[in-house]
Chain A
Amino acid sequence: MSKPRGVLAMLGVLMLLAAACGEDNGGSAGGGGGSGEQPEVFSYDENAQGEGALSLIAWPYYTEKGIVKPFEQETGCMVDVKYGNTSDEMVNLMRQQGGTAYDGVSASGDATLRLIAGGDVAAVDVDSFPGYENVMPSLQAPSHNTVDEVHYGVPYEWGPNVLMYNPDVVEPAPTSWEVAFEADSPYAGKVTAYDSPIYIADAAMYLKANQPDLGITDPYELSQDQFDAAIELLKQQSQLISKYWALYTEEIDGFESGDMVVGTAWPVNQNLILSDGKVPVESTTPEEGVTGWADTWMMSANAEHPVCMMKWMAYSLRDEVQSFTAVAFGATPSVTTACTQLEGDLADAYGKDIADEIYPVYHCGEDDYLSSIYLWKTPLPDCGDDRGQTCVDYSAWTTAWTEIRGAG
């Protein structure tokens, strides 16, 4: 019986060889931002000649034909889009082939800091973009895309993770996230939540208001005991959940089939359910607050078509582009001057009556509302306050999330 032994020996040798040699891990782009030296800053030059092509990673509905076609005609940069469904997917895609596979990405705050720290994205001079002064004050230099006063992209759209509910089933209208978190919720078994580690911040935000002795100030910077409390809450919540949604279509299906009646939602989900007309839905910003996301167009540090990408970033700041995407996606423009355009575009899309109903939900141009949102950002060990470097980092968040999802 020496044959199996021979095979095993061969496998063992191969394994040792593979471990010893060790191949390069999927292309590490750049030398890691922040080794002290100033990164190269790209400026927008409207007279520069485009390379003729542009490759983007974007959230669904962020690059509709209505805005891509005029861009292609104007600049000659033919756009190719890869849709990412999660921030983590986008980070991985941006890092492929040493950062040359894609020129740019519409990154949410939980991806931006990772990309900046990994040296995957390029610094840009935001003042070179026409109309940048019209960007909402909170988004001109937000901490999720500006590090040490160096900007790494231009803001595109933002939005809250609201509490959406079916008013036929959920009565009275909820004012607190407790209907989604507490074990005695009357809607147990029909609650939904966002299937991503970043959702732990929603639990932390709930504990910030309801368990003040934990002392949570920033739901993304949690010390170990604060983090453990959030995980406990989420494990308790998993008993209430009918299904977690990772793709926005899952939530739409869930509400329309009646398996979900209340839970975290993106405005686009609400818009699509309303336009399908099968079930009524409403949304609210509960008293504990909401988490949210503000997306930034970032350019790869090793982009093959940097001029086209800069042109796209400048183009994305225009009123009509911001408004178009806001109508398509249900996100809110980052540029205050786009709000009038948005009112008009909503009336064109949905008719004056529905437009009047949903325009206030956008909170367009409302900097106060935006400042109250706990925008997605990558949890880092650096707490950013006197706790120092003791906070729980994102990889622990993902491990904990797998534990929550695996146990249920």
Chain B
Amino acid sequence: MSDLTAPATAGRRLSAALFRHPWLKLVLMLGPPLVWLLVVYLIALTLLLATSFWRLNVLTSQIEHVWGFTNYQTLIRDSVYRTIVVRTAGMAAAVTITDLILAVPIGYYMGRMASRRTRAILTLAVLLPLWSNYLVRMFSWKIVTAGGGPLESLLHVLGIDGSIAFSNWAVWLTFSYLWLPFAILPVFAAFERVPGSLMEASNDLGARGWVTFRRVVVPLVLPGLVAASIFTFSLTLGDYITPITVGNGYFIGNAIYNYVGTANNLPLAAAFALVPIVIMAVYLMLARRLGAFEAL
């Protein structure tokens, strides 16, 4: 009874308005993230796409707002860009495969075999490297793979002479290490979601361990594996710090960085930046087909 005569404070008036106009509630909730998505992301991407059609005036170093396909012609004509893309995409694929191979046993153990306590400890162990800075982890691998470093000594003991410093091997090792937590977690989540009853049922029907794994578990965790691969693939595709610090070859990011910084040739950089965007768009469409988005 006392509520009916309660004073109409600002808070009460606001809550009444929101109740009477549900669309206002929707706007207030979705508005900020949509604005962020639109302004910061989509419009920035659109400007990038627009810039890729413009040209750099060589004499004045200013961008000419003249529509044209010169940049795309350059990308197609010079074979070095194909080399860079193949090197980058190839490394991304190699790192993805490596991390998945490493993540599956760990994820399986964490998801299906570990006790609650062990699982918590392992989760902490997997996430612990992420507490330290990316640069710290990358530089430690630079030291490990450098000439005269621990890796070279280890290889020497195994009878392999020669240094892998500044080679693609070093870059591959570093990337595999950097993105491993991002690969393990979705795989672990996927394995955890497999109902134990299904595996028991498969056992009852006469399938032994490996057959159960192959025909029951793998199709169920495949979306999770694909989700994990999205992380490792896209992170490797766009990285430019590790290739130039731990390695020596140019990746897509290094070429773009060079064009933006050294040459101030933003149109060509923008055109080249669209290449990884297109690659990832194709990759994500395939991933969606395989159901990865439900597993994220």
Task: Write the residues of chain A forming the contact surface with B, with a CB cutoff of 8 angstroms.
Answer: 11, 14-15, 18-19, 22, 25, 28, 32, 86, 88-89, 91-92, 114, 118, 196-197, 241-244, 246, 253, 257-259, 393, 395, 398-399, 401-403, 405-408
Distance, CA A32 to CA B50, complexed state (A)? 27
Name the residue in B147, B165, B244, B249 with the highest tally of chain A Cβ atoms < 10 Å from its Cβ.
B147
Tell me if B80 and A25 are in contact (CB < 8 A): no
B248 touching A25 by the CB < 8 A rule?
A: no
Cross-interface CB contact of A15 among B46, B248, B258, cutoff 8 Å = B46
Q: Which residues of B contact A86 (CB under 8 A)?
A: 261-262
Q: Is the interface of B mostly helix, strand, loop or mixed?
A: loop
In whole Å, how far is A74's beta carbon from the nearest beta carbon of chain B? 36
Q: How far is the CB of B152 from chain A (nearest CB, A)?
A: 9
* B65 lies within 8 A of A22 (CB): yes
Among A92, A114, A197, A403, chain B packs the most CB atoms within 10 A around the CB of A403
In the bound complex, do residue B42 and residue A11 qualify as a contact, i.e. CB atoms below 8 Å apart?
A: yes
**Chain B residues whose C-beta falls within 8 Å of the C-beta of A22 in the assembled complex:** 54, 65
CB of A259 within 8 A of CB of B265, answer no
Residue of A nearest to B46 (CB): A14
Tell me, yes or no, whether B240 is within 8 Å of chain A by CB. no
Known contacts A259-B146, A406-B81, A398 near B263 by CB under 8 Å: yes
A220, chain B: closest CB distance, angstroms: 16
Assess the B263–A395 pair: CB atoms within 8 A.
yes
Choose among B46, B248, B259 the residue that contacts A408 (Cβ–Cβ < 8 A): B248
Q: How far is the CA of A403 from the CA of B80 in the complex (A)?
A: 6
Contacts of A407 in B (CB 8 A): 80, 83
Nearest CB of A to B289, in Å: 15
Say whether, besides A118-B61, A243-B166, A257 and B262 are in contact (CB < 8 Å). Answer: no
Q: Which residues of A contact B261 (CB under 8 A)?
A: 86, 88-89, 92
Contact A242 B83 (CB under 8 A): no
Say yes or no: is B126 at the interface (Cβ < 8 Å to chain A).
Answer: no
Listed by A's residue number, 15 A-B pairs whose Cβ atoms lie within 8 Å are: A15-B49, A25-B63, A86-B262, A88-B261, A91-B264, A92-B261, A118-B61, A243-B166, A257-B148, A257-B149, A395-B263, A402-B250, A402-B263, A407-B80, A408-B250
Task: List residues of chain B with CB within 8 A of the CB of A259.
Answer: 146-147, 163, 165-166
Does B53 sit at the interface, judged by CB under 8 A?
A: yes
CB contacts (< 8 Å) of A197 on chain B: these are 262
B169 within 8 Å of A by Cβ?
Answer: no
Chain A residues in 8 Å Cβ range of B63 = 25
CA distance A243 to B249 in the complex (A): 9
In-complex Cβ contact of B46 among A11, A253, A406 (8 A): A11
A22 to B267, CA, bound (A): 13
Which residue of chain A lies nearest to B81 when distances are taken between CB atoms in the complex?
A406
Further pairs besides A253-B146, A395-B265, A405-B250: 9, Cβ < 8 Å: A18-B46, A25-B63, A88-B263, A243-B248, A257-B146, A393-B58, A395-B58, A398-B258, A406-B255
Q: A403: nearest residue on chain B (CB-CB)? A: B80
B88 to chain A, nearest CB (A): 10
Among A19, A244, A402, find the residue whose CB has the most chain B CB atoms closer than 10 A: A402
Question: B43 within 8 Å of A by Cβ?
Answer: yes
Determine if B140 is an interface residue (Cβ-Cβ < 8 Å). Answer: no
Cross-interface CB contact of B62 among A25, A88, A401, cutoff 8 Å: A25
CB distance from B46 to the nearest CB of A (A): 4
List the A side residues contacting B250 at CB < 8 Å: 402, 405-406, 408
What B residues does A243 contact at CB under 8 A? 165-166, 248
Cβ B165 vs Cβ A406 within 8 A = no
CB distance from A292 to the nearest CB of B (A): 20
Interface bits B246-260 vs A (CB < 8 Å: 1, else 0): 001110001100110
Cα distance, A393 to B56, chains bound together (Å)? 14
Q: Give bound CA distance, A88 to B260, whole Å.
A: 10
Q: Which residue of A lies closest to B43 (CB)?
A: A14
The answer to whether A258 touches B262, judged by C-beta atoms less than 8 angstroms apart, is no
Q: With A18-B50, A241-B248 known to touch, is A402 a contact of B65 (CB < 8 Å)?
A: no
Contact across chains for A19 and B67 when beta carbons are under 8 A apart: yes
Q: How far is the CA of A408 from the CA of B78 in the complex (A)?
A: 14
Shortest distance in angstroms between A6's beta carbon and chain B's nearest beta carbon? 13
- Alpha-carbon distance A402/B255, docked complex (angstroms): 7
Cross-chain contact A395 with B84 (CB below 8 angstroms):
no
The chain B residue with its CB closest to the CB of A242 is B166
- Output the least CB separation between A238 and chain B (Å): 9
Report yes or no: A406 in contact with B80, Cβ–Cβ below 8 A: yes
Contact yes or no, B264 A92, CB < 8 A: yes
- In this assembly, does B47 line the interface, its C-beta being within 8 Å of a C-beta of chain A? yes
**B197 adjacent to chain A (CB < 8 Å):** no
The reply to whether the CB of B60 lies closer than 8 angstroms to some CB of chain A is yes
Q: Which residues of B contact A401 (CB under 8 A)?
A: 258, 262
Interface string of B137-150 (1 = CB under 8 A from A): 00000000011110
Given the complex of chains A and B, what is the CA–CA distance between A306 and B46 in angstroms?
40
- Write the nearest CB–CB distance from A189 to chain B, whole angstroms: 8
In the complex, A15 Cα to B165 Cα: how many Å? 44
- Give the distance in Å from the alpha carbon of A197 to the alpha carbon of B261 in the complex: 12
